[in-house]
């Protein structure tokens, strides 16, 4: 039996999964980590990346051994592997592979001026979190490290490079670095030229095309696990051997599309975790530029309209953690999954509009609504119905509100809708509740597969399987539909008019509360900032 290893570096976990040729999960492992807010930058340290990879893989091997202890079945040969990670951000290295600046993640909103300048120069939306916006900011700010740049990449591209030695990237992940021309599945040549003109004489030592990773499509060879790469993942050499082929590294958008079989035109999916984004595969390019909408691609290069919001579950998770602490004080110690389930279920007993309560979940800035920073807020009036059910319902609705604002732009401006959205990510791990409320929020059927909780690690493992097992000429769409999802169990929930009307009322209150959010950002400083500065 062949098996395939998928690794995803997400916002809060580094997860690894092992699957068979049909996508069945054989084992999994995870390592919890968190971003840091250091010197005004949201970042992760690369030593934590290496530690997390080892720990996650060790847990996967342990999980497989535990699951097969009675059968004494040996670990099947690993025939392929792949790496996925959070898209966007900025990782810069010199010619010796030395990191030149802290890893600047997708969560940062420090590139507003650079983003606006590039959007105008390209006549193409360049979001603040894209790699090219971070590079342009570093150039225009005169950062010392710019003169030494030899290579920039994403987190997935970095991990792939230290495992294989290859400076390559999947086209979907590349589309979050720099605009892609879907006719050639490579960086847009005209925009590369325009960028060169913008930075001419500014100290960038090499042409942009020379410092970006090479673009590859799903199924193309992307290198092999080196001896050093194998030692990094499996220091004891118990399971992993050099020579395993790796598929092109992808971002969480591409693996999310793969994990939900949403890679064909007119399909769509919504990924909800620390951040939330909706993606719709297009039959044609958008008619005009929308600054709230990203244009990215599928892992095979098809154009995709993406609504990306920086904030989803972080504030919700923090509140549930507080509820857990309160229960411990009374002597109750519920399992984390049970705590989530019970509180989510309570939300279904709330008023349609959450009883007049409103929560703004902006832990960080939010470009969709124009925020450089965030301040999580909870607001109620004297006549609000302040109950537990309404409170949790308001937190869940808050995690979906900014996404709805972005999706409405596509629907109103381009007439784009899908027959249903495939949901995946941590928000959907608790059965039914978030799926039901998301269907009401988007006023669209939302489907969830049994594999929804596996997310991007499973998606990149499928791309690794596609690279090794596909027949000659077999498209990714056919491979997924015929081999992986043919017998998949899917649960679909239609929008409930109770939830639809309630969310519409909630959203109007949410939009009004953004004025309060602006005031909070303006007047409430973070503890780490000197209030006298």
CA distances from 47 to 33, 102, 214, 232 (A): 12, 12, 25, 12
**pLDDT at 74 (0 to 100):** 73
What is the rounded CA–CA span in Å between residue 158 and residue 169? Answer: 9
**pLDDT at 533 (0 to 100):** 36
Regions of the chain where pLDDT drops below 70: 69-73, 451-454, 528-533
List of E strands, 252-354: 268-272, 276-281, 294-297, 303-309
**HEC letters along 263-289:** CCCCCEEEEECCCEEEEEECCCCCCCC
**pLDDT at 126 (0 to 100):** 95
**pLDDT at 70 (0 to 100):** 63
**pLDDT at 66 (0 to 100):** 87
Using alpha carbons, select from 4, 164, 160 the residue that is nearest to residue 77.
Answer: 4
Residue 390 belongs to what H/E stretch? Answer: helix 388-414
Architecture per CATH, 88-153+178-211: 2-Layer Sandwich (3.30)
Provide the CB-side half-sphere exposure for 380 (13 A, CA). Answer: 15
What is the rounded CA–CA span in Å between residue 19 and residue 10? Answer: 19
DSSP 8-class letter at 292: T
**pLDDT at 480 (0 to 100):** 95
Return the SS3 of 202: coil
CA distances from 436 to 278, 344, 423, 472 (A): 16, 11, 11, 41
**Phi (first) and psi of residue 153, to 5 degrees:** -160, 180
pTM beyond 0.75, yes or no: yes
**pLDDT at 71 (0 to 100):** 58
As assigned by CATH, the class of the 1-85+222-260+452-494 domain is alpha beta
DSSP 8-class letter at 368: G
**pLDDT at 532 (0 to 100):** 37
Tokens of 308: 């990306």
Could you check whether 1-85+222-260+452-494 and 88-153+178-211 share the same CATH topology?
A: yes
**pLDDT at 487 (0 to 100):** 85
What is the rounded CA–CA span in Å between residue 276 and residue 307? Answer: 8
**pLDDT at 375 (0 to 100):** 96
What is the rounded CA–CA span in Å between residue 145 and residue 287? Answer: 39
Domain ranges of the chain: 1-85+222-260+452-494, 88-153+178-211, 314-420+500-523
Tokens of 339: 């705590």
Residue with structure tokens 């599945």?
A: 185
Using alpha carbons, select from 474, 109, 426 the residue that is nearest to residue 273.
Answer: 426
pLDDT tens track for 218-256: 999 999 999 999 999 999 988 899 999 999 999 998 998
């Amino acid at each position: 039996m062949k098996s395939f290893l998928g690794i995803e570096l997400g916002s809060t976990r580094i997860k690894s999964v092992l699957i068979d040729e049909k996508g069945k999960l054989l084992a999994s492992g995870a390592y919890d980590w968190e971003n840091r807010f250091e010197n005004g930058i949201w970042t992760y340290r690369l030593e934590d990346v290496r530690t997390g990879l080892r720990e996650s893989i060790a847990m996967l091997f342990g999980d497989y051994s535990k699951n097969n202890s009675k059968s004494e079945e040996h670990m099947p040969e690993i025939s392929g592997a792949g790496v996925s990670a959070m898209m966007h951000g900025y990782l810069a290295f010199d010619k010796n592979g030395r990191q030149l600046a802290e890893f600047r993640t997708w969560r940062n909103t420090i590139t507003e001026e650079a983003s606006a300048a590039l959007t105008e120069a390209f006549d193409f939306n360049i979001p603040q979190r894209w790699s090219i916006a971070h590079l342009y900011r570093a150039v225009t700010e005169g950062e010392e490290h710019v003169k030494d740049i030899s290579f920039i990449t994403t987190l997935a591209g970095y991990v792939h490079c230290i495992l294989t030695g290859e400076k390559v990237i999947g086209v979907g992940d590349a589309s979050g670095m720099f605009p892609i021309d879907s006719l050639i599945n490579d960086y847009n040549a005209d925009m590369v030229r325009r960028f060169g003109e913008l930075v001419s004489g500014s100290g960038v030592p090499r042409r942009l095309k020379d410092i970006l990773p090479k673009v590859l499509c799903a199924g193309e060879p992307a290198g092999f696990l080196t001896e050093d790469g194998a030692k990094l993942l499996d220091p004891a050499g118990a399971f992993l051997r050099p020579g395993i082929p790796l598929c092109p590294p992808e971002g969480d958008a591409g693996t999310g599309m793969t994990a939900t079989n949403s890679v064909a035109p007119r399909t769509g999916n919504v990924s909800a975790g620390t951040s939330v984004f909706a993606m719709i595969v297009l039959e044609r390019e958008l008619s005009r530029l929308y600054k709230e909408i990203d244009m990215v691609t599928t892992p095979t290069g098809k154009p995709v309209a993406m609504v990306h919001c920086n904030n989803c579950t972080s504030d919700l998770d923090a509140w549930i953690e507080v509820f857990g602490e309160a229960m411990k004080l009374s002597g109750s110690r519920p399992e984390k999954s049970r705590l989530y389930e019970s509180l989510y279920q309570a939300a279904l007993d709330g008023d349609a509009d959450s009883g007049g309560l409103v929560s703004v979940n902006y832990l960080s800035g939010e470009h969709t609504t124009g925020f450089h920073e965030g301040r999580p807020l909870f607001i109620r009036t004297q006549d609000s119905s302040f109950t537990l059910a309404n409170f949790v319902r308001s937190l869940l609705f808050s995690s979906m509100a900014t996404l709805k604002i972005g999706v409405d732009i596509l629907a109103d401006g381009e007439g784009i809708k899908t027959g249903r959205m495939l949901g995946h990510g941590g928000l959907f791990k608790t059965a039914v509740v978030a799926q039901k409320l998301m269907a009401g929020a988007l006023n669209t059927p939302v489907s969830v597969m049994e594999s929804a909780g596996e997310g991007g690690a499973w998606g990149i493992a499928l791309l690794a399987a596609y690279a090794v097992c596909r027949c000659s000429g077999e498209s990714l769409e056919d491979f997924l539909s015929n081999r992986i999802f043919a017998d998949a169990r899917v649960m679909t929930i239609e929008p409930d008019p109770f939830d639809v009307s309630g969310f519409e009322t909630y959203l109007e209150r949410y939009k009004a509360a953004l004025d309060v959010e602006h005031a909070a950002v303006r007047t409430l400083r973070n503890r780490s900032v000197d209030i006298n500065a």
